[in-house]
Structure 1
């Protein structure tokens, strides 16, 4: 089975955005469990200690001139999962992804799509549907102009209000 996110990134020419709105994902992920047990990535360590295969895709995509932006809307105080995501985000930034965080209370008046998504070149949206415990259930492409416009407007509003990864401190 092909990965639709990788397909979207491979085809992207100008932009790729990722909007995340859950406070927890796949809590049985071995890396999250290791983090709960004290494992931490060390930015000063050899890059091979924290580099992941997906980051090769990010680096290749951004090297082609595609601007990759990720915005995370989070509840505060943040969950342990969000603390984990925050701790393991520096490799994404090192690969060229721009990441911002927005406390949920600052997003209350933004008309948002009902689920996490990727959008490529402001023309196609890949929605990701999750179970209640954060497991991916399905993904669906949409290129309807009204949906693309909603996603674009919502993301840009989130992006404007959000704090860069380098400045955000989880509470």
Structure 2
């Protein structure tokens, strides 16, 4: 299967979404970034200072949610969680504030689920943006597909994970 030639960016795909945007994350470590490194050194977010942590991404999510797009993110994680996942759980407050729905599923509860090999976003059940990562978590790029069967398989996998996963507010880091 070859990637669809799409010149649209994530921003454009999200801006064009009419009903849904779903994101499946399955890695325990992603590429590092300054905010993660600061957190590792003990820095914490002042959640009462909205301007200090709100980013353009949050604007995009809030805008999509505001026009009726349901944005859901499911994270499949190993337990005990990695330091990176511990940080992600901490900063998920921002995703929730932007209007995302986020759930967590411990990997040990997925043995009977068929799951894709890569993280992805699906927009309106029509286009999938597949994320490619190196073993150390470095982002290698993305591929876009519009094959209905491929999108359908991945969308079904997302729904199985979503149905089993724990909402963010109830998920306790282990």
Q: Paired residue for 1:155, among 155, 158, 172?
A: 158
Q: Extract unaligned runs of 5+ from structure 1.
A: none
Could you list the per-position Cα deviations for residues 125-161 of structure 1 after superposition, in whole angstroms to 9, with x for gaps in the alignment? 0001011111111101111121111111100000000
User: How is 1:1-171 mapped onto 2 (pairs within 5 angstroms)?
Assistant: 4-27=9-32, 29-43=33-47, 45-171=48-174
RMSD over aligned Cα atoms: 1.2
Distance 2:120 2:82 in 1: 21
Distance 2:153 2:66 in 1: 28
Distance 2:148 2:53 in 1: 39
Distance 1:109 1:39 in 2: 39
Question: What SS class does the counterpart of residue 122 from structure 1 fall into?
Answer: coil
**Aligned length in residues:** 168
Could you list the per-position Cα deviations for residues 65-100 of structure 1 after superposition, in whole angstroms to 9, with x for gaps in the alignment? 000000000000000000000000101101100000
Stretches of 4+ aligned residues off by more than 6 angstroms: none
Q: Extract unaligned runs of 5+ from structure 2.
A: 1-6
Distance 2:66 2:121 in 1: 19
Distance 1:77 1:4 in 2: 35
Distance 1:154 1:123 in 2: 15
Calculate the TM-score normalised by the size of structure 2.
0.93
Distance 1:127 1:68 in 2: 17
